[in-house]
Amino acid sequence: MTVDEIRAHHLPTLLRRIPKAELHLHIEGSLEPELIFKLAARNGVTLPYPSVEALRAAYAFSDLQSFLDIYYAGASVLLKEEDFFDMAWAYFERAAADNVVHAEIFFDPQTHTDRGVPIEAVILGLSHACRRAHAEFGLSASLILCFLRHLSEDAALTALTQALPYREHFIGVGLDSSERGHPPEKFARVFSKARDLGLRLVAHAGEEGPPAYIESALDVLKVERIDHGVRCLESPALVQRLAATRMPLTVCPLSNVKLCVFKSLAAHNLPALLDAGLCVTINSDDPAYFGGYINQNFVETFAALPQLTAAHARQMAANSFEASFVPAERKAVWLRELDAVIAGAA
Ligand code: ADE
Ligand code: ZN
């Protein structure tokens, strides 16, 4: 079957089945309320919520900051290496079930080291889970260390220095947390240092912040992917540049609705981003907080936007491989697997 012959009613099955790469996933955002309570009990941490249900009920956000406040509180139960392993392993089990074949995962060391957790516990716990995901599921996974942009650049430089003894356990650096008022150029020196160390570079930009933040992420930080980037459409010149350079945008539709970037999935600008020829991927951001993992993002987004077809699904899965930080030969293998799944689709 060719991709154009796949009808709308077969789309949800196809969306779930296709192999895909996850490129925008904060591992702390995969911490489900049940695991938060389990780790709190194991570590003797008292939570400001009486139950799993009460915590989940608090997941009603008005913007990015209202989410981040609760997200950092949730991460307070993570203390030991095994906690980081358990969190990441729970994510990999779900990702493998969603046919994720490759994941490049964000972690926020400052959220933990500022509470006295040794960076070694963070990195080794996560890295151990990555290795096991590859061994058990054939899912390749790597780590991207994110700097918290609401903190200073000196604090980011300290985080990078602390992480360097574990350099072989992560492939790149990113920039996350509160975007407004914290432009990429604030982190020029630490990104330049990371670049000199051979690390791959990404940054959140254009989620809540203006198109100018996407431009400075490219021009000053020299990033190789933009996380979110949905506000690029406000600048036609920027869209043209992103399309011409095939700069990937790691879009997270359910996140964008939960954080009120768009009022609904039906109002999301994903079709316009695709029409502009951009290298768009679909990702889950903080799935425990935003209502679903990567397949849920695919299925709900396609259901809400009927102009999206199987050809778009193939394009975005292919984009996720193209945008990943792996050798070209690996990308070619995944592309062949993607086309074999589509050819076999009923
Ligand atoms: N940290 C976790 N999720 C984030 C998001 N969507 N934007 C910025 N920082 C984040
Ligand atoms: Zn994010």
Alpha helices in 203-309 (DSSP H): 211-216, 236-244, 253-258, 270-275, 287-290, 294-304
How high is the mean pLDDT of the chain?
Answer: 97
What is the mean pLDDT of the segment spanning 207-222?
98
What is the mean pLDDT of the segment spanning 24-48?
97
Tell me: the pLDDT tens digits for 266-291? 999 999 999 999 999 999 999 999 99
pLDDT of res. 346: 57
Share of the chain above pLDDT 70, in %: 100
Residue of 66, 91, 207, 258 best suited for mutating to test ligand 1, as the one with most atoms within 8 Å of CB: 207
Question: Sign of dihedral through CA atoms 126, 130, 133, 139?
Answer: positive
pLDDT of res. 4: 81
**Ligand 1 neighbours by CB, cut-off 6 Å:** 26, 29, 64, 71, 176-177, 204, 207, 255, 285-286
pLDDT of res. 229: 98
Radius of gyration of the chain, Cα coordinates, nearest whole angstrom? 19
Q: Residues whose CB is under 5 A from ligand 2 (ion)?
A: 285
Is residue 114's pLDDT more than 70? yes
Share of the chain above pLDDT 90, in %: 97
pLDDT of res. 68: 94
Is residue 79's pLDDT more than 70? yes
Q: 201 phi and psi, to 5 degrees?
A: -125, 130
pLDDT of res. 302: 98
pLDDT of res. 6: 76
pTM (two decimals): 0.98
How would you classify the pairing of strands 172-176 and 200-205? parallel
Residue of 22, 26, 226 best suited for mutating to test ligand 1, as the one with most atoms within 8 Å of CB: 26
Is residue 40's pLDDT more than 90? yes
pLDDT of res. 1: 73
Q: Name, in order, each residue with C-beta under 8 angstroms of 115's C-beta and a sequence gap of 6 or more.
A: 76
Q: Letter for the amino acid at 170? A: F
Domains and CATH numbers, the chain: 3-345 (3.20.20.140)
pLDDT of res. 148: 98
